[in-house]
Structure formats: structure tokens, C-alpha cells
Structure 1
Amino acid sequence: MRRRANSVPPRDFDQCIKILGCILLLVLSFVVGKLIYLQVVTASSLSAEAQQSRSNAIVLQAKRGTIYDRNGNVLAMSKECATFYCNPEEVDDPNGAGDVFEEVLGGESKNYVSRMRVQGTFSYISRQVDSDDADEIEQKLKEKGIKGIYRLKDSKRVYPYGAIGSQVLGIVGIDGDGLTGLEYYYNDILKGKNGTMYLETGQGGTPIAGGHSEVDEARDGTDIVISLDIDIQRVAEETIVKGTEQYKADSGSVMVTDPTTGEILAACSTPLFDVTDTSTIEEGATSLKLVSSSYEPGSIFKVLTAAIGLESGSVSPMDTFSVPGGVRVGDDIVRDDDGRTETMTMDLREILRRSSNTGIALVTQNEIGETNFANGVSAFQIGQATGIDFPGEVQGMVKQLNQYDGASIGAMSFGQSLAIPLVQMVKAVGSIANDGTLVTPHFLVSKGGEEVTWDPVGTSVSKETADAVTDMMRTVVQSGTATAAQVKGYDIAGKTGTGEQADENGYIEYKYVSSLIGFAPADNPKVLVYVGLNGTPYLASSSSAPLFSTIMSEALSDMGVEPSS
């Protein structure tokens, strides 16, 4: 039989079928594998990408916790307001909308319009708008038929007492984070947790009417109570601002505490700023110089030197010393501010009353000695961070025993040759008022209704030493360099300090850190006040002393301390 032309032999035909089947099987396997990969391996990520392409995520600001003063007065709170945003691709009349925002909020229409013409599908137009203004904007936009602009619930910080306490409270940024002060230090407590709203959008990012939206609710922050007394704070700020100007100082600082607990009743340093208007803030205004800047403390340090001498047993209150007009300290001759040239007999009380540099240097070099002095400085925790709950604390520069030279203890005895933030002196002298017990200066009293405990952090001297030094400090106020610090009817213990300021060329003539630190009532202290003027040509007795009197008078009254006479 003749075979037909071009016919495929059965064996070859079977082979073709097998090859085709293999190809189909490979294709099918690839498709199935791809489906498994897409539906199982990458399903979640693809879903998220799809959701992201069809949604806008908007932050819902948590309401920050309220800050109260010790008497329950609201110092900072969050108030409900509104934020306006848009999809720039959807806004049908940017110029008309800009005119509405300008009319209600002020500013220039073009600035609002520019925010509606940015690239992308989301843009803020105006944030933290007062609710009444937001209602008016919404109504006017509706009347004009302008679309594509949306309102979002928001909150902002308000301050019932205005600018008072701005440095301590600090600034909160537009995104709800604390930037300075206690708002920054306790941000994790106050802030809470922001939420998120996801809006389903169509092509171009336009929100879909009736589309799916998902809200992760914000969790509000925790309220705190701080130790400030707003009335003492107000007087402290007013007094130091006037004093800085009156006594031609570069800056001034105040801290008021309860020395038995360490609670800070008032604190400030110039320049101040207004937290309700942060458009203009002078350099350094957001920090407390008492915490963040180091200075030579001057003669207020003599309180600690006297205590060190008594505590170490090197001297006693009854010991007298023959004090010449000048005492050699290293290569220098130290003299007293009163220009005395003759030799005088003095005990520790008289040395403090006169604020005698020669007397305290003589006693320190001849009687106390380097080891006792260094141990005493360490016991007062000078040169160590206090642990104050405020940002920016520095440790200062204080020589250790192995760094002493021939001039060290003589100069340090009256507050030179060391530089510290003056909050360390508040803590150290506070321990004299507190029978020798050291406590941490602090602001936080309670959070979320629960009291915060601040334990003692050491002992500087014995009660006997503290009592003896307190009695000497009484004399300073009664008849010494601090008579202008007196408050009628109250028993006050205090000490002035006039420390020379230095630059790279040495000490500057007639440029002092003039300060006064003291507490009252002397036998049962409830209030401690530090006042310092930096870069003033005036001695402490005629500058910081009267400022101290004004602030101490207010603090004693506000704390309910009755006069003793």
C-alpha cells in the first residue's frame, strides 16, 4: 500500500503529543506557583500596598495631660480645636478658599492658596484653629460651594496664667511633642499616644463618599501636679526682671524651694519668654541658668566651708583667729571687700557676718586642710548633678583632691576657683536648713493622681553642725552683709555672695555674680530662696539682698507661715 504524502507516522505523532503535554504542564505549574506566591507568600504585603494606594493616613492628636500647680491651679491644658486639610487635586476654588481663611484667621490669602497647590494628595491648610473660627470657616466654604477641604478634630495647648512659668512649663510643638522645660522632660507621661484615621480614596487620592474608613483612636496623656506656686512664681519673675534692669545685670536667676522636701515653689532666669507667643524668643530664654550654666558661687560658699570646718572637728564655734588685712593664697594676696588693713580677731560667726575672704581662707588653709575640705565638698555633693527633673543640667567644674594646687582650697573656701550650676548651692544649703539631710530639688509631685516619692539622697553634716551654722547665718541677716534681706516679723538665716566673673584674660573688675541664699523661719525652715544677679557691678548687700526680701516675703505668706513677732 502506498503511503500518503506529508502524513505523520504514528510514532512521531505520539512524540509530539508528549512534548506538547510537557509544555502545557510546565506552563500550568508556573501559573499555579505564581498564584501560590501571590496569594500566600506576598498576600499581606500586596494587600497593604493596595490599601495604601487607596487610602490616606491622618494623625489624630492625643490630648496632652494637664499640668497643675501645687494648689490645683491649671497651668497648661489641651483645648479642643480643629485642623483643616485638603486634597490639592480635588480643591475646585483655591483662591476663593484662601480668601475665606484670610478673612477668618488673618494672614495672606496667597499663603493658604500655596498649600492647596502643592504636589500630592494631602496637605495641611491651617492647624490648631479655634473651634469658633473653624465653624465660621466651614460655613463660609459651604456658602461658596468650595469642595475638597476637610476638617479634622485637633487639640492645642493653652495657658490660663499666660506667660507666668513659661520657662518651667516649656513649649509644645505643633505635632504635640514637648520641646523644652517640663513639657519636654515629662513628654512620655503627658503626651499619651496619637491615633490614626485611614480614609479610603479613589483615583487621584480623592476621598470616596461613603468609602471605608478605619480609626485607631488616640489615647490621652496623663495629668501631673508640679510643686510650683503660681503666685510665688509671678512675684519671682516680676522681681528678677526689675532687679536685672535696676542693677544693670546681664541676667538674673531665682529659685524658691521647700528645703525639707526639695519641692521647687518657683524658678526662673532672665531673659524670660512668653509661651503663648513663641514667634520671638531671645537666646537662652528657654533654659534655667540655675540648672544649665555654671558660675563661681562666691561668698555664699562660705556657709559650706564653715560647716565643713565644724563637721570635721577642725574648728569650733568658740575658736578665734587672728586675721590680717591680707592672706596669701597661692601667688595672690587675698583681701576683704571693706578694704581693711589692720589685723582683727574673728571667730567663724564674725567671719561669716563680715563675709571675710581673708578669714575663711586663713581658717581653711591653716586649720581645715585639703583632705577635710575635699571630703566636705564631696559630702555636700558639689560638682555632682543634683538629679533635678529639668532638662539641660550640667555638673560644673570642681577640682578633686588630687588636682589641688597651692591656691585651691584658699580660693575655693570663698567660692572661687570652681564653677557650678547654682541649683547645687540650693541643694547644699537646703541640707543645712534640713538638719544635714540632702534632698533633690524637683518639680513633679504626682502623676495620674499618684504621689511621686523623692527619697533623701545623703547627709552632708550632722544636725549639730547644721544648727550651729544656721545660727551664724542668722547673725549675717541681723547685723551683717544681709541686713537688706530682712522680712519684718520673721527669723531669717542667710548669706550673701559677691563672686568675681572671669573671662579668658582673668577676673573682670566690677563684674560680679551677686547673690543671696537663705531660709526661714531659721529654727523650722519652710522656705529657701536663692537670688542671683550675673554680671552686675553691685555688691550682693545692695542688690540681691532687697530682691531676696521681696520674694521671701511673698513665699512665706503664700505658704501660710505666720510671723514670729
Structure 2
Amino acid sequence: MNSKRRLTILAGLSAMVFMLLAGRLVYVMAISRDEIYEKAMGQIVREVTVPAARGDLLDRNGSVIAASADAYRLDIDLKTFRRTLEAKERTAEYYAVPLASLLGETVEDILAIMNKTTSSSLVKRKMEKAQADTVRAWMNEAGTNFLILGYDSIRYYPNGPFLSHVIGTVGNDGDGTMGIEYLYNDLLRGVDGIKISEIDGKKQDLPYTEVVATPAVDGSDLVLTIDEKIQYAVENIAAETMESTKAKAVTIIVSDPKTGEILGMANLPEFDPTDPQLGLTSEEFSAVTRNRAVNDTYEPGSTLKMITMAAALSEGKVSLSDTFFCKGYTYVNGVKIRCAKHEGHGLQTLEEVFQNSCNPGVIEIAQRVGIKTLNEYIAKFHLGEKTGIDLPGEAKGIIKKTDDVTPLDLATISIGQTDTATPIQILGTLNTIANGGYYTTLHLVKETVPKNGAGERLDPVPYVEKRGEMVIEQDVNAELMKMLELVVEKGSGKNARIEGVRVIGKTGTAEKLDPSTGKYSEEDFIASFVGAAPADDPKISVYVAVDSPKDVVTGGAVAAPVAKKVFLEIMKHMDLSSDGN
């Protein structure tokens, strides 16, 4: 082959190589630029979430009820993991077995994460420092450049089950799942930040490289209306009551009737918000975590007579000079309705009917009022609707429609059966009377405070405020206050009487329906009491419900003494004496 031909072939080959290189350059720079750039950046750049600190929950005096502590999380870069397995000719089990042991997880669970088809996945959250250090040491030894150890936080509750039904709990994803933690989650959670940095082959940040970061915005602290001392007292009293009465459940609520602030709320049985499902079936979990104060409805019994009397007085259907005769029972449409005093109270004044919680007398009063008017007053006190309290899952209760009410229904509704209500609704009714006839929404959060003192304090608004609504006129309200005081001084609530303190209150004994028969049980009752003190200027209101107490079952015998204990405990921290001294 002559030199000229060789030059021609060489030139052709050179041109071909040049064209291939040019084509490749066009492909790289134009056609697949974004894809190649993404792959390259995926190997040299790491994006890490910087979790925001969740806001604390504090009592009204600044005591910590729930807080967050620093922790760690482990993520896996599945793209890099798959390349590592291929390059080193290893199986996923090679890494899954030791990692599962370090994390306290099953090998199957770790393999399920490693076999995902996504680009990345969470492996473990909320690791404490000791465990994270052990995992980090193994990662360095095993050369696991596909694992990323980052920052996280652990929610902890320093007082264990304390206030658990109000607080709720936080799930593994960092979001609230129940209670205040759930309802105010957006305020508490904050906004996570992002850190982007260049990394080397071992997934370590390169020195002297610029870090691009969006700082995390920490969640706000919430100051609750709860008073820690009062809460401890009511929880201890609830526990004593559960034991002494052998009840299925106990609910105690303490509030300021003027502001609607809840100072204490105890529900038993309780649960540990750190690990609420520990050792429980799903049915048991649902039962124990339910906040009976707002989630449960029941036929309230004689506490509803407050509304019956309010309607009768307001509409001029009764006067203080009226008298009523109780022979221990009355018939309505052929149905016999008994009084608690089976032998009867005999001749009574209007005030005595109320203080003795006399069923025949109240039924006669309700017949004068009529169901249309009675239902109007039931609605004025916000029964049959959500009160708007800042807790999730509030029940409305069931109020029978006026057009569907029979004469027998009117009788039973007036004494607290047939219709249903929540404990919060009954406490709201008493509070309205204790607050001069004005309704105020019960609530649990006092204010929002940005973390580290940055920014302005904010007023939270998740509860629906009904403040300053006049429900009953002042002259009627004054008479109701007098009647409620007589209940405690001389009537069914005398077991709540305290020397030197003027207490108002109303007892309730509600029959429970037997689900197996559909009829009222002769054994299961809810004994309740709702009251306030001091009568001349109520500062504290208390609601007590004891579900299915054994042996003694009436509100006056079971719940009124519990309320007295609560008042006496509160008096250690607050002056409730009638003269204010």
C-alpha cells in the first residue's frame, strides 16, 4: 500500500473518530445533559433534611409537660446501595443481618427496606446517641457509603401518663396523632430545613466546599391552661376513686368558669404517651386512649335538671310560691317513673324539688314548659352540638327532635334521660350559671410562644370561641345559683359541703343501657356531680363522673364526696373561702 493510500485511510479514520467524539459531545452537552448532570450530582452532592425542633408543651406556670430531645435517624441511598452490591458482588443479606442486630429490628424488615425500588428510604428514626455511635462505627468499618446518619428528635413526656388524654402522642413520622399534639400539630412541628453539600466517595462532607442550607424553623411552644398541681391532685383522686368504687372509669375536670380555662382533666384508665400501644390490642388501645370527657356521650341524669329549671324560671312557668307533691312516683302515658326517694318527698316548694332532685316534681315542671321551649334552652346551653373545645374527636351528643318527642320522652328528657351529652357539655352548663348566665367555651391552650423567644406571642385559635353569650337573664340566674347552693347545703349534694366555703352543685345518677337487652341496666350507673365554689364569686368549677361504681351508685353518695376532695385539694393552693379572706 502506497503512502498516499495510507494517508487517505488515516484521514478517514480520524474523521470518523472526530465525528463520533463530536456526536458524543452533542449527546452529553445537549441531549442527555440533565440526566448526566443528575447522576453526577447524585454521586458528589448530598441533600440532608435538617429537622425542626418540635415545640414544647408547658403548664400555665411554665412546667414542662412534653418536650423533644436530640436524636438520630438512619436513611439509605438505594441507588448507591444497588451499585455497591453489583460492584462488590454481594447480596443485601450481607449488610441486612448485622444492621438489623444493631438496630434491634428483624432481618426481614431491613431487607424489605433494602429491596424497595425507590431511590432512597428511611431505615430507623429516633435513635439515641449510644445506638447511633454504634451504628456509625459499623458503617465506617463496613464501608457502607450508601447509609446516611442524620439528626432527628425524640418526643418525651417527663411525667409519664400525666395528662395523657389531653396531650396525646407523636408518631414515628414526627406528627401528632392524638390530643393537643394532633390538633396543634402545625404550630408545634415547625418547618424542616435542608442542607446540601459536596461529599467524597465515603459520603463524607468535603472540606472547604460551600454548603447551601435552608435553616429549619422550629415549632412554637404551647402554654396550656392546665395547672400542674391541680392536675396531679385530680389524677390522684381519680385513682383513689377507681380503687374504692371498683368503677370501670373515672373522669374529673376542673375549670375556671369565667374564662373557660381548663385547669385539670383526668381520665382513668390512662396510658403512657411515650408508647401508647405497648402490650395492648387495637380494641384495648382504642378504649384506653379515648378521652371520655369529650369523646363519650351518656344520658346525664339529674344534672340536666339545671336546664329544665332554667327554662321554667325564664319563661315564667313556675314561681317560688309554687308547691308540688311527691308520692315517690308518677305515671306518664301509663309508664311509672320513680323518684330516688321511693317513699316520696311529700309536699315540696319549688326550691325543694330541685334540691332533692325530685323526679315527679321536675316532670310536672317540664310539662308546664313543653318540649319546644325545653329544646330551645337545651340548644342555648350548646347541648346537641360541639362546644368547640380544642381537642379532637369531640362528640355532639343526641338531642331528640321536637317533632319526634312523645309525652313520655318529655318526662324522661327533663330528668336527664333519653337525650345524651358529654361531660364537657354538662360542665359548660354549670359554668354558664356560675358565670352570671353567660356561656364561655372551655379550652386547653392559653397561648403560643415562638421558640427561643423569637417573634411575637400568638393567640391560638383552633377552638371555636363562644364567649359572652347570654343564655339566661341575671335575675333567673341568681335564683338558679341559690337553688344550686341549697342542693349542697341541704339536698342530694350535701356530701360536697365544705365548712366555711359556699359550694353550688348538682348531682346526677344516670342509668346505663344494657347492650344485650336494649333496656336500662339495674346494676350499671354513671354517678356524677358538677359544682363550683365559692358561690358568691365562683373561681373553680368541678365535674366528676364515676362509671359503673359497685355497691353505692348514686351521684350524691359517690361523686359528690369526690368533688369535695378536689375542692379541698385546690384550697391548698387557692383561696375559696366565701368571704375571700
Task: Provide the TM-score with structure 1 as the length reference.
Answer: 0.83
Structure 1 counterpart of 2:302, one-letter code: S
Counterpart check, 1:416 vs 2:447: no
| CA shift for structure 1 position 146 | 5.5
| Residues 299 and 48 (structure 1), Cα distance of their counterparts in 2 relative to 1, 3 Å cut | farther
CA distance in structure 1 between the partners assigned to 2:411 and 2:529 by the alignment: 21
CA distance in structure 2 between the partners assigned to 1:499 and 1:136 by the alignment: 58
Structure 2 counterpart of 1:171, one-letter code: T
CA distance in structure 2 between the partners assigned to 1:557 and 1:60 by the alignment: 46
| Residues 540 and 45 (structure 1), Cα distance of their counterparts in 2 relative to 1, 3 Å cut | farther
**Within 5 Å, which residues of 2 pair with 1:200-349?**
207=203, 210=206, 214-280=212-278, 281=280, 282-341=285-344, 344-349=346-351
| Residues 374 and 526 (structure 1), Cα distance of their counterparts in 2 relative to 1, 3 Å cut | same
Structure 1 counterpart of 2:413, one-letter code: M
Counterpart check, 1:543 vs 2:551: no
CA distance in structure 1 between the partners assigned to 2:60 and 2:372 by the alignment: 43
CA deviations 1:67-92 (Å, max 9, x no partner) are: 11111111111211222344573599
| CA shift for structure 1 position 212 | 8.3
CA distance in structure 2 between the partners assigned to 1:312 and 1:332 by the alignment: 28
**Within 5 Å, which residues of 2 pair with 1:473-484?**
473-484=484-495
CA deviations 1:488-527 (Å, max 9, x no partner) are: 4321111110011113521111211110000011110111
Q: 2:498: which partner in 1? A: 487
- SS at structure 2 position matched to 1:334: strand
- SS at structure 1 position matched to 2:572: helix
| Residues 274 and 563 (structure 1), Cα distance of their counterparts in 2 relative to 1, 3 Å cut | farther
Q: 2:163: which partner in 1? A: 165
Q: 2:482 aligns with which of 466, 471, 474?
A: 471
| CA shift for structure 1 position 396 | 1.0
| CA shift for structure 1 position 436 | 0.4
**Structure 1 range deviating more: 124-133 or 422-431:** 124-133
Q: 1:353 aligns with which of 349, 352, 355?
A: 355
CA distance in structure 2 between the partners assigned to 1:59 and 1:491 by the alignment: 59
Q: Is residue 514–residue 534 contact of structure 1 (8 Å, CA) maintained in 2?
A: yes
| CA shift for structure 1 position 474 | 1.4
| Residues 38 and 461 (structure 1), Cα distance of their counterparts in 2 relative to 1, 3 Å cut | farther
Q: 2:190 aligns with which of 189, 192, 195?
A: 192
| Residues 508 and 384 (structure 1), Cα distance of their counterparts in 2 relative to 1, 3 Å cut | same
Q: 1:552: which partner in 2? A: 567
CA deviations 1:73-125 (Å, max 9, x no partner) are: 1111121122234457359998799769867x7x4685797588545664544
After superposition, the CA RMSD in angstroms is 3.5
Q: 1:134: which partner in 2? A: 132
| Residues 356 and 86 (structure 1), Cα distance of their counterparts in 2 relative to 1, 3 Å cut | same
CA distance in structure 1 between the partners assigned to 2:37 and 2:322 by the alignment: 87
Q: Is residue 95–residue 109 contact of structure 1 (8 Å, CA) maintained in 2?
A: no
| Residues 446 and 145 (structure 1), Cα distance of their counterparts in 2 relative to 1, 3 Å cut | same
Structure 1 counterpart of 2:558, one-letter code: S
**Structure 1 range deviating more: 515-524 or 505-514:** 505-514
CA deviations 1:155-211 (Å, max 9, x no partner) are: 1212232221111011111111110001101111111112344566899xx747639
**Structure 1 range deviating more: 506-515 or 464-473:** 464-473
CA distance in structure 2 between the partners assigned to 1:56 and 1:284 by the alignment: 45
**Structure 1 range deviating more: 75-84 or 290-299:** 75-84
Counterpart check, 1:433 vs 2:434: yes
Structure 2 residue ranges without an equivalent (≥5): 1-22, 450-456
CA distance in structure 2 between the partners assigned to 1:224 and 1:252 by the alignment: 27
Q: Is residue 296–residue 500 contact of structure 1 (8 Å, CA) maintained in 2?
A: yes
Q: 2:454: which partner in 1? A: none
Q: Which has the larger radius of gyration?
A: 1
| Residues 321 and 190 (structure 1), Cα distance of their counterparts in 2 relative to 1, 3 Å cut | same
- SS at structure 2 position matched to 1:265: strand
- SS at structure 1 position matched to 2:286: coil
Q: 2:534 aligns with which of 521, 537, 560?
A: 521
| Residues 480 and 115 (structure 1), Cα distance of their counterparts in 2 relative to 1, 3 Å cut | same
CA distance in structure 2 between the partners assigned to 1:325 and 1:116 by the alignment: 71
CA distance in structure 2 between the partners assigned to 1:362 and 1:477 by the alignment: 23
| Residues 525 and 47 (structure 1), Cα distance of their counterparts in 2 relative to 1, 3 Å cut | farther
| Residues 131 and 562 (structure 1), Cα distance of their counterparts in 2 relative to 1, 3 Å cut | farther
Structure 1 counterpart of 2:397, one-letter code: G
| Residues 141 and 54 (structure 1), Cα distance of their counterparts in 2 relative to 1, 3 Å cut | closer
| Residues 209 and 64 (structure 1), Cα distance of their counterparts in 2 relative to 1, 3 Å cut | closer
| CA shift for structure 1 position 344 | 1.3
Q: Is residue 379–residue 459 contact of structure 1 (8 Å, CA) maintained in 2?
A: no
Q: Is residue 513–residue 536 contact of structure 1 (8 Å, CA) maintained in 2?
A: yes
- SS at structure 2 position matched to 1:543: helix
- SS at structure 1 position matched to 2:407: coil
| Residues 389 and 330 (structure 1), Cα distance of their counterparts in 2 relative to 1, 3 Å cut | farther
Counterpart check, 1:502 vs 2:504: no
Q: 2:452: which partner in 1? A: none
- SS at structure 1 position matched to 2:511: strand
Structure 1 counterpart of 2:458, one-letter code: E
CA distance in structure 2 between the partners assigned to 1:446 and 1:265 by the alignment: 14
Q: 2:58: which partner in 1? A: 68
- SS at structure 2 position matched to 1:240: helix
Q: Is residue 224–residue 445 contact of structure 2 (8 Å, CA) maintained in 1?
A: yes
**Within 5 Å, which residues of 2 pair with 1:367-406?**
367-406=368-407
CA distance in structure 2 between the partners assigned to 1:307 and 1:290 by the alignment: 24
Q: 1:362: which partner in 2? A: 364
CA distance in structure 2 between the partners assigned to 1:139 and 1:47 by the alignment: 32
Structure 1 residue ranges without an equivalent (≥5): 1-30
Q: Is residue 181–residue 287 contact of structure 1 (8 Å, CA) maintained in 2?
A: no
Q: Is residue 97–residue 146 contact of structure 1 (8 Å, CA) maintained in 2?
A: no
Structure 1 counterpart of 2:237, one-letter code: T
CA deviations 1:447-492 (Å, max 9, x no partner) are: 1323458551522211222221111111211222222223343211
Q: 2:4: which partner in 1? A: none
CA distance in structure 1 between the partners assigned to 2:434 and 2:243 by the alignment: 31
| Residues 214 and 360 (structure 1), Cα distance of their counterparts in 2 relative to 1, 3 Å cut | same
CA distance in structure 2 between the partners assigned to 1:293 and 1:65 by the alignment: 29
| CA shift for structure 1 position 435 | 0.3
Q: 2:152 aligns with which of 142, 151, 154?
A: 154
**Structure 1 range deviating more: 473-482 or 391-400:** 473-482
Q: Is residue 498–residue 540 contact of structure 1 (8 Å, CA) maintained in 2?
A: yes
CA distance in structure 2 between the partners assigned to 1:508 and 1:467 by the alignment: 37
CA distance in structure 1 between the partners assigned to 2:108 and 2:500 by the alignment: 61
CA distance in structure 2 between the partners assigned to 1:431 and 1:215 by the alignment: 53
Q: 2:458: which partner in 1? A: 450
- SS at structure 2 position matched to 1:377: helix
